[in-house]
């Protein structure tokens, strides 16, 4: 059983996943995960897993958190994507301690959503900044306690952009998310009109954290890439489970042997299993090594970080290829609109398109492994 906050009760992961299986179509149709279900995710500890321990957080080692997101994503990729942002409170590590204390004043379970791009100019004021603009991809904003928008940095930030934290009711949420993959993430636009944000409620993206805990020394942008990548692994797992179950029991309408009686199907699905499991093994292996370095009092080296970024990009692409292979082996049934596999394929294609998981990461990781500087910005 998983303990919940304030003695509300307890809930098992299996119970939450069973409810998700019943409601995933609801989330896809309305294009966001309902706040009451996000509250269920809170009961699993997802939204306190990256809260500083000094504010009541219960640190979840990255590998454990990633496994949890993968299991959720195997039921619904969109919900896994939204849940993955439970790790992203580490982004706020450079927020002044006084602001963090206020952020967690009502408890450690804080739902954070970010829409950092495009970065907009903000006018300085006596208190902070006057913020105006429209930002994209605020995944999970419909249930967020706090959201972040990107504003330009200045001489005091060494050119790095700032994140400005705002309560959602001070912004307009434009429900314009109209996509074929990850339909339920609620990655809507955020609009600010003359919203003043106090300086202490801004932070430097990639700035030095003021929290001295192992998770806050784990590379924040790298972790953001990992939590999105592992969503694809969950989606690919769902496709393989479906293929193995259906293949063993359904005959062709033409009278041909059932799929599991066909050598090409057995071999193709087995190959896909090996391919996915190999990519996962690399991904979790380097995650464990990096975390152990921190627990032992050291740091995540540049080479370790390169492997983290490389394994995340590789897992996202491998998972998408695996789902595509399953679809290509599954015959004409998979072209129906109401079939599970097309939805899984569309979901699997999305994570690899994220900038953190793009093909450019291979070049950047290769450069670091060969003793050169990374070839993309914000590599760790």
* Token pair of 174 as six digits: 């434009």
Looking at residue 254, what is its pLDDT? 52
Report the largest interatomic distance among the alpha carbons of the chain, rounded to a whole angstrom. 77
* Token pair of 89 as six digits: 């409170």
Looking at residue 334, what is its pLDDT? 85
Looking at residue 206, what is its pLDDT? 78
Distances (CA, A) of 116 to 31, 91, 120, 237: 21, 12, 9, 31
Q: Which domains does the chain have, with CATH numbers?
A: 2-94 (1.10.540.10), 111-204 (2.40.110.10), 218-369 (1.20.140.10)
**SS3 state of residue 330:** coil
Place of tokens 């590789």: 314
Looking at residue 156, what is its pLDDT? 84
Q: Within its chain, how far is the Cα of 319 from the centroid?
A: 15
Looking at residue 252, what is its pLDDT? 53
Give yes or no for a contact between 217 and 298, defined as CB atoms under 8 angstroms apart: no
The CB density around residue 380, as the number of other CB atoms within 10 Å, is: 19
Residue 105: which residues within 8 A CB-CB, separation 6 or more?
none
**SS3 state of residue 370:** coil
The residue count for the chain = 380
Q: Which of 106, 186, 102 lies closest to 140, judged by CA?
A: 186
Looking at residue 249, what is its pLDDT? 63
Please, how many CA atoms are within 13 Å of residue 18, restricted to the half-sphere of its CB? Answer: 5
Q: What is the pLDDT along the chain (380 residues), one digit of tens a residue?
A: 344 343 334 789 999 999 999 999 999 999 999 999 999 999 999 999 999 999 999 999 999 999 999 999 999 999 999 999 999 999 999 999 999 999 999 999 999 999 989 999 999 999 999 999 999 999 999 999 999 999 999 888 887 899 999 999 999 999 999 999 999 999 999 999 999 999 999 999 878 899 999 999 999 999 999 999 999 999 999 999 999 998 766 555 555 678 889 999 999 999 999 999 999 999 999 999 999 999 999 999 999 999 999 999 999 999 999 999 999 999 888 888 889 999 999 999 999 999 999 999 999 999 999 999 999 988 98
Q: Give the E-state strand segments of the chain in sequence order.
A: 2-3, 10-11, 112-120, 122-124, 128-138, 146-151, 162-166, 172-174, 188-198, 202-204
Looking at residue 2, what is its pLDDT? 41
Give yes or no for a contact between 137 and 173, defined as CB atoms under 8 angstroms apart: no
Distances (CA, A) of 271 to 137, 163, 286, 333: 35, 44, 23, 21
Distances (CA, A) of 278 to 66, 145, 194, 311: 16, 38, 50, 11
The CB density around residue 317, as the number of other CB atoms within 10 Å, is: 21
Strand partners, 131: 122, 195
Give yes or no for a contact between 235 and 185, defined as CB atoms under 8 angstroms apart: no
Q: Which of 203, 180, 224, 221 lies closest to 103, judged by CA?
A: 203
How far is residue 2's CA from residue 81's CA, in Å, rounded to a whole number?
Answer: 21
H/E segment holding residue 341: helix 340-349
Helix, strand, coil abundance in the chain, percent, nearest 5:
55, 15, 30
């Amino acid at each position: 059983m998983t303990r919940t906050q304030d003695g509300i009760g307890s809930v098992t992961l299996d119970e939450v996943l069973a409810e998700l299986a019943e409601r995933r179509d609801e989330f896809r149709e309305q294009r966001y995960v309902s706040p009451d279900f996000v509250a269920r995710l809170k009961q699993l500890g997802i939204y306190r897993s990256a809260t500083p321990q000094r504010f009541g957080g219960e640190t979840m080692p990255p590998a454990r958190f990633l496994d949890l997101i993968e299991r959720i994503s195997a039921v619904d990729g969109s919900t896994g994507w939204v849940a993955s942002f439970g790790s992203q409170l580490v982004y706020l590590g450079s927020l002044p301690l006084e602001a963090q204390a206020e952020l967690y004043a009502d408890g450690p379970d804080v739902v954070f959503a970010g829409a950092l791009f495009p970065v907009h100019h903000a006018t300085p004021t006596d208190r902070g900044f006057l913020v105006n603009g429209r930002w994209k991809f605020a995944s999970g904003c419909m249930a967020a306690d706090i959201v972040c928008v990107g504003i330009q940095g200045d001489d005091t930030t060494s050119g790095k952009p700032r994140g400005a934290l705002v309560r959602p009711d001070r912004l307009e949420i434009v429900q314009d998310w109209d996509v074929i993959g990850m339909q339920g993430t609620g990655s809507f636009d955020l609009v600010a009109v003359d919203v003043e944000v106090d300086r202490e409620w801004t932070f430097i993206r990639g700035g030095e954290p003021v929290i001295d805990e192992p998770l806050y020394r784990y590379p924040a942008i790298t972790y953001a890439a990992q939590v999105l990548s592992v969503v694809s692994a969950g989606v690919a797992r769902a496709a393989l489970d479906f293929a193995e179950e259906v293949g063993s029991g359904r005959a062709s309408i033409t009278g041909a042997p059932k799929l599991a009686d066909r050598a090409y199907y057995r071999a193709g699905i087995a190959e896909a299993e090996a391919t996915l499991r190999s990519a996962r093994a690399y991904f979790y292996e380097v995650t464990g090594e990096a975390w152990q370095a921190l627990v032992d009092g050291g740091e995540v080296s540049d080479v370790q970080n390169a492997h983290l970024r490389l394994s995340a990009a590789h897992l996202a692409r491998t998972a998408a290829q695996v789902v595509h292979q399953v679809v290509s082996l599954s015959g004409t049934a998979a072209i129906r609109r109401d079939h599970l596999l097309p939805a899984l394929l569309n979901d699997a294609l999305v994570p690899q398109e994220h900038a953190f998981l793009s093909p450019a990461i291979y070049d950047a990781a290769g450069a670091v492994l060969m003793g050169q500087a990374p070839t993309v910005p914000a590599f760790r």
